[in-house]
Amino acid sequence: MTKQKFLHNLINVVAVFLFAVFLLFDGYAWGKFTFLAASLAIYVLGLWERNDKIVLRFDMYVVIYLVFIAYVLLTALWAKSAMSTITMARTLFRTFICAYIVYLYFVKEKDVSRLLRILMWAGYVVAIYSLMFYGVDELLKAGTDSSLRADNEFANVNSIAMCCALSCMIQANEFFEKRNRWTCVFLIPVLIVIGATQSRKALLFLIVGVFSAFIVKNQNESFVKKFGKIILGCVVSALIIYGLLQLEIFAGIKQRMQTMFNSFTGNGKADGSSLTREKMIEIGWKEFTEHPVGGIGIANSYFITDKYLGKKTYLHNNFVELLSCGGIFAFIFYYAIYGYLFYNLWKYRKADKKQAMFFAIWLLIMLVLDYGSVSYYSKDQNFYLMIHFVNVENLKRKARKQQYANNKICESTTQVYNGQKLPIFDKCKQR
């Protein structure tokens, strides 16, 4: 094994560990140091692997994130608790630095599929660790009744479930592309963990993600064929959903889904969690209308919930959280990240249609899920967005290569006329 190959594989292992660290060790005091050490290890090993020099990048990824972090810090000037805001700004900056270090290495990759496989394996590691931590029997029991939901003993159960659901989405893409199909065996612990956490968002992510991977695989076919497969995919997805909800391990999620549906329709027993989240959106929006420009200070939402609900917590909705705590500018600065990514996915989609569509669907799912969670300071969410920036740079590079190839062909395709070599532009157009 060559040095480059060994270092390449070692970086893969460290990267899998890094993406699992978000959940496995974040609750420990030493977790942040492990987090930073793993990020630095990837970059240093990358320099050794490529015999590269230290080169920093100051592109849109850096600009957008630093503008948002700077504004977060600025809100400390009028925040109800300036220290809470400063602490949040420090957390965001620390996470950004770690993500940026990893970004410097992976942005030079020719293909983003390596990063996707790393994420997939990280999800499997988290699932297996969860099985070992809680025990298989306890997790199977936790999934059977909504009152027995797995708790947050070592990490937020919703974050664990979302990480596992993302692995399923990537695994489905690998399966449809006929790559690494043997890794499907790891879906067993993943599904057990999702069932035990009873995360409705994760279950929806799993279903939509797998279906999306199917759509991406068939997106180059004719409209009739594509439409037929979409219909087939919808039917199969409906059957899979029905089948999963009949399993005992998903009985808890089934109960939670039913009560959530009842809270929307007003029929039957309402879901207390959904009703509380609706109340949080209501009071958060009320606070935004009273402080529309600058909010009450980032990371100060516990003042709102304590005032109206009698408990100190966040608002469980990223849109309302940003609007109420940071005002309209916090909302604009943060979601400029999504705007930039969506714009470039559309602009450079022809460079790799499947890749662009896969990431567009993933980004859309993340955006929709912000309705039920606060993600702007989440380490895993910030790293996922970093991967999206890596993908955009990858698409740009592919587009430039394609443009260069087209220009080169046009220049080299010539014919002799009156002793002069002239380009044949018709052939260029045909190409």
pLDDT of residue 150: 63
Least confident of 37-46, 209-218, 219-228, 290-299: 219-228
Q: Are residues 281 and 330 in the same domain?
A: yes
**Same-domain pairing of 73 and 35:** no
Query: Is a pLDDT exceeding 90 seen at residue 90?
Result: yes
312-337 average pLDDT score: 94
> 170 vs 158, which has greater pLDDT?
170
Predicted confidence at residue 431, as pLDDT, reads: 44
pLDDT at residue 254 is higher than 70: no
How far apart (Å, rounded) are the C-alpha atoms in residues 228 and 211? 14
Average pLDDT rounded to a whole number, residues 190-197:
81
How long is the chain?
431
Kindly state whether residues 203 and 137 are assigned to the same domain. Answer: yes
Q: Which residues contact 128 (CB under 8 A, 6 or more apart)?
A: 186, 189
The confidence score (pLDDT) of residue 74 equals 96
Instruction: Check whether residue 306 and residue 210 sit in a common domain.
Output: yes
Same domain, 196 and 275: yes
Q: Which domain holds residue 212?
A: 58-393
Q: Cα(67)–Cα(70) distance, rounded to whole angstroms? A: 5
What the block records as the tokens of 406 is: 């087209």
Contact 142, 148 (CB under 8 A): yes
Residues 68 and 41 in one domain: no
Which helix (H) or strand (E) segment holds residue 235: the answer is helix 223-246
Q: What are phi and psi of 423, to 5 degrees?
A: -70, 145
Rounded mean pLDDT of 249-257?
A: 59
Residue 42 shares a structural domain with residue 182: no
In the chain, what percentage of residues exceed pLDDT 90?
Answer: 41
Amino acid letter at 375? Answer: S
Residues 151 and 46 in one domain: no
Does residue 424 fall inside a structural domain? no
Q: What is residue 406's predicted lDDT score, i.e. its pLDDT?
A: 75
- Are 93 and 185 in a shared domain? yes
Q: How sure is the predictor about 227, in pLDDT bands with cuts at 50, 70 and 90?
A: low
Q: Are residues 307 and 340 in the same domain?
A: yes
pLDDT, position 2: 85
48 and 68 share a domain? Answer: no
Mean pLDDT, the chain, as a whole number? 81
Q: What is the number of structural domains in the chain?
A: 2
